[in-house]
Amino acid sequence: MSVIKLPVFKSFERSDALVDALATRIANALQEAVDTRGQASLVVSGGSTPVPLFHRLRTLPIDWQEVYITLADERWLPADHADSNERLVREHLLVDNAAKAKFRGLHNIHGTPEAGAAMTADTLSNLPRPFDVVILGMGNDGHTASLFPCAKELDEGLTTEAVCLAVHPTQAPHPRISLSLASLLNARQIYLHLSGDSKRTVLEEALSSRDVKAMPIRAVLDQQRVPVDVYWSNQ
């Protein structure tokens, strides 16, 4: 039984159908922002799920030169590391038409995310706010961005007004930097992009309680400030 009201939920049998529909929605929102306000902002997530979406988005005829792109979170690794979200975005999104976009990475010259957080916040200071589109994923433990239930920094991530924070998850590799919940919710539209039966099950569990510390994605789902559309495909 759902305790949290289900947001807009769009279900697709195949990933390619989801990708076409979601890419079109995102492209329209970005172009409308450019047409209306002169620039647009897009926050994306790492991992394998968004790669087909990136491939579709990068081909669409948006005024990409007016679009700023950043990440919801990043492992504190060099941008050429195999596990870097920045590397993923550069290889799969920032090519073709989207090569003209203005990308702002989260990792910088500092040795730790704690030392680099202020510089990251400064790097993001010129991105148009509210973000026009934020695309989030969700882990099997209910984390989103790098707001992990296992991390001692979770309370800070859920409550701080800072743009970003250092996170050290105990059940995932690498120190990280993550946008705070306040940053993620400073948006016009959030899309939660999920794939497979296991993620459908995790979503149902997330909707069954308001305990955000057990499943931080609930803080995104259980709020009225920003519209959240869930896009899920069976495959």
Cβ 86 vs Cβ 177: under 8 Å? no
The more confident residue out of 172 and 174 is: 174
Q: Which is nearest to 137 in space by CA: 12, 43, 10, 41?
A: 43
What are the structural domains, with CATH classification, of the chain? 8-233 (3.40.50.1360)
Check whether 6 has a pLDDT greater than 90. Answer: no
**pLDDT tens across 155-164, in order?**
999 999 999 9
Confidence of residue 82 (pLDDT cuts 50, 70, 90): very high
Mean pLDDT, residues 10-14: 96
Cβ 101 vs Cβ 67: under 8 Å? yes
DSSP string, 42-97: EEE--SSTTHHHHHHHTTS---GGGEEEEESEEESS-TTSTT-HHHHHHHHTSSGG
Confidence of residue 106 (pLDDT cuts 50, 70, 90): very high
Check whether 235 has a pLDDT greater than 90. Answer: no
Which pLDDT belongs to residue 130? 98
Check whether 169 has a pLDDT greater than 90. Answer: yes
Check whether 172 has a pLDDT greater than 90. Answer: no
Q: Which is nearest to 137 in space by CA: 213, 90, 202?
A: 202
Check whether 1 has a pLDDT greater than 80. Answer: no
